[in-house]
Amino acid sequence: MHDRAADRRNAAGVDPSRFAAEASTLYVVATPLGNLRDVSLRALDILGSVDVIAAEDTRVATVLLRHFGVATRPIALHEHNEAARAEQLIGLLREGRSVALVSDAGTPAISDPGARLARAVRDAGLRVVPIPGASALIAALSAAGLLAAQFLFLGFLPASAKARRDAIAAVAALPCALVIYEAPHRVGATVAALAQTLGGARDLVIARELTKKFESIARMPLSEAGDWLAADANRTRGEFVLLVDAPPAAAAGARGATPSADALRWLEALCAEMPTAHAARVVAAMTGEARDALYAHALAQKNKDPG
């Protein structure tokens, strides 16, 4: 098929290896989480060539655009005006304009505005093209080292305590990891709700300020997470991705791990001398066996003990 777009770029003296926005097309453009070097070359091509840029927060988008020399002034598209703005943008697309959608950070429509716009544009028979790139969800998963083979993305949990607990309880028994976005002022309450509802045996990975100067990724049993957060005020600052590994039995099954007889003997002896979670970590370090499976076994034995 002949590439007419490439012909237009060549005729205009534009590098043919670069991408240029096509008419009547909405581009969903991923932007960096924090480190501006994470922007893709294709994203820069599109942002520099579209007619309109719709942004969750125009102030945030302007910083990014100016940094990369994009002169287009963004217009606002957020949760409060998305429906009305979608109608306006569809009108522009039908006139042959091109539009890019960006969120404050990461990929639009992933717990950010944009899904309604993308659906409305598709329903109108117009093109929607993803320009992939940074995503806090994928970045956190890639570095978490989860044992679970599957995960369920929950986005932001409800604000009220009861609704939050109910949402967690609804997925507690699923044999998969749970991935949650959280804000700094609620992370403590959410971690407490996770521990209360899921129990302390499941591992939690707290990924904070991904790609930024103070990025941190820490893993611990849910039973220890509240104390870990409380030990340092800096640990509750920034933007969070919380990843709860699958229930221990499911996680161990995904890895094909069953504690050996030797490991269980060590575990029984150490549990008599130290906290269960600590004992499981020590035995896992000594034997190379799955800490989750060891911890789950120790908890099961403890629950059976009438004393």
Q: pLDDT digit string (tens) for 228-277?
A: 999 999 999 999 999 999 987 655 555 546 788 888 888 889 988 888 88
- Distance between CA 85 and CA 35 in Å, rounded? 29
Give the per-residue pLDDT at 305: 63
Residue 200 has pLDDT above 50, yes or no: yes
Give the pLDDT mean for 131-157: 95
Give the per-residue pLDDT at 169: 95
Name the DSSP class of 31. Answer: B
Instruction: Sketch the domain layout of the chain as residue ranges.
Output: 4-134, 137-250, 257-304
Q: What is the DSSP string of 148-163?
A: -S-EEEEEEPPSSHHH
Residue 3 has pLDDT above 60, yes or no: no
- Distance between CA 212 and CA 161 in Å, rounded? 30
Give the per-residue pLDDT at 1: 44
* CATH homologous superfamily, domain 4-134: Tetrapyrrole methylase, N-terminal domain (3.40.1010.10)
Residue 306 has pLDDT above 60, yes or no: no
Query: pLDDT tens digit string along 32-80?
Result: 999 999 999 999 999 999 999 999 999 999 999 999 999 999 999 999 9
- Return phi, psi of residue 98, to 5°: -115, 145
According to DSSP, the residues that pair with 53 across neighbouring strands are 100
> What's the predicted TM-score (pTM) here?
0.77
* Topology agreement, domain 4-134 and domain 137-250: no
Query: Taking CA 94 as the corner, what is the angle to CA 126 and CA 121, rounded to the nearest 5 degrees?
Result: 35
For the chain, what's the residue count? 307
Question: In the chain, what percentage of residues exceed pLDDT 90?
Answer: 73
Residue 307 has pLDDT above 60, yes or no: no
Answer with the residue of higher pLDDT: 306 or 193.
193
Q: Which of 74, 128, 83 is nearest to 102 (CA)?
A: 74
Q: What's domain 137-250's architecture? A: 2-Layer Sandwich (3.30)
